[in-house]
Amino acid sequence: MRLFSGTISIAATVAALLATTSASAQVTAARPWAVEGAIEDNDRQADDRRYDEHRLRLEAGRRYRLTANSEAFDPTLKLYAPGSTEPAAENDDSGESLNSRILYVPENAGSYTLRVSSFAADGRGAYTLRAELLPPLPPATPIQLAPRTMTWTSVDGALTADDPEMSGTHGDDYSLFLAEGDEVIIRADAAFDTVVSLYQAADRDADPVASDDDGGGGLNSMLRYRADAAGEYVIRVTALGDGSGPYRLRIGQ
């Protein structure tokens, strides 16, 4: 159990209460929102876990990164849309170490509730919450698939710290059109641990329709996907962890 002095504990509790009871905080590119608080024995409780809640004003169509960091416990985050009792997004360990991170694009503007709790029922201690407005995703690089008589369409790329943040890590996006019933094999090979994911092009911040980590053997990734409907899709190449460097993306039909 981690112990705090009375001054630190009271200050953290007051900060949490002020954030919870005050008007919704506005998050802007020039002014990210941050608050320090603490999960304590007298906090509200749900599902055997104590929690704090904070209100944020989010705008429709903007990309937000919400993080919860703690050295005292394993934090979890849940984001609730106005008037909803079910989370619109939630996360446990997508941040560094055991910390939590949510990337979220609201469909509607409003006052959202951000709930922080511990993964373990007995988790207590100090935490820091942060909300940041991210820039829009850059356009995906278009890929023209080779004729079916050819084996692979290949693209050479590299993951760097300058790439945009996508799905909690840095990555590259590639767009392609698939007709209904088209089946593709997508693989990414590199010296680092690659991840390939496939998204609907219209919703790149939603969950992928397919994803793979180590299906290509070793640390390489490979997935097979059959399109249920014709449309534009996006292939995303990322790394598991903080991997970076050159990679080769290949798409076969």
Low-confidence winner among 10-14, 97-101, 194-198, 230-234 (lowest mean pLDDT): 10-14
Class of domain 6-134: mainly beta
Three-state DSSP state, 242? coil
Maximal CA-CA distance, the chain: 72
Same fold, 6-134 and 141-252: yes
DSSP classification of residue 99: -
Q: Are 197 and 211 in contact (CB under 8 A)?
A: yes
Residue 242: the pLDDT is 77
More confident: 168 or 115: 115
Which segments of the chain does DSSP mark as H helices, in order? 6-21
Length of the chain: 253
Q: What does the angle CA 64 – CA 174 – CA 130 come to, to the nearest 5 degrees?
A: 15
pTM above 0.85, yes or no: no
Tens of pLDDT, residues 142-197: 988 877 656 789 999 999 988 887 766 789 999 999 999 999 999 999 999 999 99
Report pLDDT digits (tens) over 45-103: 998 899 999 999 999 999 999 999 999 999 999 999 999 999 999 988 765 668 898 88
Q: Is the dihedral of CA 99, 105, 107, 109 positive or negative?
A: positive
pLDDT at 109 over 90: yes
Domain limits, the chain: 6-134, 141-252
The pLDDT value recorded for residue 165 is 78
Please name the helix (run of DSSP H) or strand (run of DSSP E) that holds residue 183, with its range, or none: strand 183-190
Phi, psi of 236 (to 5 degrees): -115, 130
Domain covering 141-252, topology:
Jelly Rolls (2.60.120)
DSSP state of 168: T
Which residues, in sequence order, are CB contacts of 192 under 8 Å at separation 6+? 159, 219, 239, 243, 244, 245, 247
